[in-house]
Amino acid sequence: MTSTGIEVEYSEINKKENGWHHCFQSIKDKCELEAKQKQFTLDESKSISNRKYNRYRDVNPYDHSRIVLHRGDTDYINANLVKMERASRKYILTQGPLQQTVSHFWLMVWEQDSKAILMLNKLIEKKQVKCHQYWPDEIGDEHKMNLTDVGLTVEFLKVEEFVNFSIRTLRLSDIESTKSREILQFHYTTWPDFGIPSSPVAFLQFLKKVRECGALDDNVGPTVVHCSAGIGRSGTFCLVDCCLVLIEREGENKVSVQDVLLELRRFRMGLIQTVDQLYFSYQAIIEGIKRLNNPNYDDYEEVAMIHPEDDENVEQAPPPLPPPRVDSLQSGGTPAKPLPSIPNDNDNAVPLNGNGGGPDGVGENGIGGMDRPLPPLPRDNSLEKVDESQSDHDSVDEEDDESAVDEADEEDDIEEDDVRKSAEINGLENSNDSIKSDESIDNNQEEAQLRRRKRQERQEAMAEKVREIKRKQKMSEESTPKKRRSLMITIAAGVFIGVICVYAYVKFS
């Protein structure tokens, strides 16, 4: 099978020195130039009355595509309508709601007739609040959320848990008209801030579930997509979805990933915030193309995402473990509406309490084959995070700025991911593999453990440096007042003694 145009484009970027960095920067420069030439303004977001409704100071909606609210105390919300006419796609990209914008968020969902909400972040990440919980804590009418300022109520009906995401069903009701609608919330729970999903297949399974509910169809209101700032992870989702639709309609060689991204960025600034997210988008699109060309889904082996190796001399976020060798994904029927670019029903997107396949939805029929492997990811240091000042991770939170100490806080999350991935490797070994394959897996596990130990040592060293800096700062802060008090006492004592001496001299002379 010949390579697709997008695969060739991917390989060309990969061959160049610092190719991914330059590609990302080129897209950023083109968008900034176009925004300046077309005079895309941000006036509403920067007005004094609306600033309090923005989660981050550097992520604002363009005026020409912003969502306008029609009732309540304001018409402003940090959200844009993002459209791709060629793909018949429209999305509302927005920030994770603040406590004071929850009612605005739900009013937008009601007025725009949205059928689903895609939440791509956790409420708290790296010990910082990234999104206020905008749905009720518990199921039932007695726990419903009353939004009196916009005349709406939100009731939590049910939840379905999957390996990487949850689907909540919520009832949104208008108090005045008594009309109500059911809203689906797809909550991706394993996509790290400033990062990428565990694998392209895991992401495609999430996308497939969203497509199946009809929320992305052109006969319903735009789907609401948000992460923390509504540009990084949200932009990645929209880019992959649009490209796969266009590939289905127009063919593989007529779609340019970069052109699609440039078009999407005309509606909301900064979509795709890191080099990691850009090359992951390519990986997910290439994976989707393979499934489009390979109708035999059950013979397809999941390919885990591989990050570039760390430079030992540069402190970076540690890469994940090598891709585990897993059993083939078990097929269980044909979807009602064919979606050839997305995995089959019983792939890893299996409820935790479901009965399809083995643990975590993995089948039991042995290792599956692939038509061809994904192109290897770059092995140089060109994929460092770019323009972090504008990313979801490094944008300023409404409560306080993120500091260098946050990098050390990633240690717990990394350790949990390592334990989970190690369990996957141990739990998914095929008993029918040859002795040679078993030895290869053992070697991979030993190498992975060695890398984890090295990462842990680097992280511990960095954490120790941070603690030492904090300790010195604290000692300095504590010692400064003492020195000042000591100096004042000395001066006071000197003055007092001087006065006594002068008095004695005057009296007895």
SS3 label, residue 261: helix
The token duo for 469 is 């800096």
**Contact assessment for residue 40 and residue 288, using Cβ atoms and an 8 Å cutoff:** no
Question: What residues have CB less than 8 Å from 228, skipping those under 6 apart?
Answer: 55, 95, 96, 121, 125, 130, 131, 193, 392, 395
Please give the Cα distance from 188 to 248 (Å, whole number): 25
Residue 356 has which token pair? 């399809």
Distance CA 337, CA 217 (A): 12
227 catalytic residue (yes or no): yes
β-pairing, 145-147 with 76-84?
unpaired
Residue of 23, 31, 131, 227 marked catalytic: 227
For residue 461, give both structure tokens. Answer: 């060293």
Instruction: Name the residue among 197, 280, 231, 227 with its Cα closest to residue 390.
Output: 231
Residues 6+ apart with CB under 8 A from 127: 406, 409
Cβ neighbours of residue 185 under 8 Å, at least 6 residues apart? Answer: 116, 117, 118, 119, 135, 167, 168, 169, 170
The pair of three-digit structure tokens given for residue 448, joined into one six-digit string: 């992975």
Tokens standing for 186?
């797809």
* DSSP character string of 352-412: TT--SSSGGG--SS-PPP-SSPPPPPP-SGGG----GGGSTTTSPPSS----THHHHHHHH
CA distance from start to end of the chain: 114
Q: Which helix (H) or strand (E) element contains residue 124?
A: strand 124-125
Q: Are 445 and 425 in contact (CB under 8 A)?
A: yes
Angle between helices 19-37 and 257-264 (to 10 degrees): 40
**Biggest alpha carbon distance in the chain?**
115
What b/e string do you get for 117-126 counting C-beta neighbours within 10 Å, with b at 16 or more? bbbbbbeebb
Strands 223-226 and 116-119, how do they pair?
parallel
Dihedral (Cα; 203, 207, 212, 216), 10-degree rounding: 170
Q: Which residues are catalytic?
A: 227
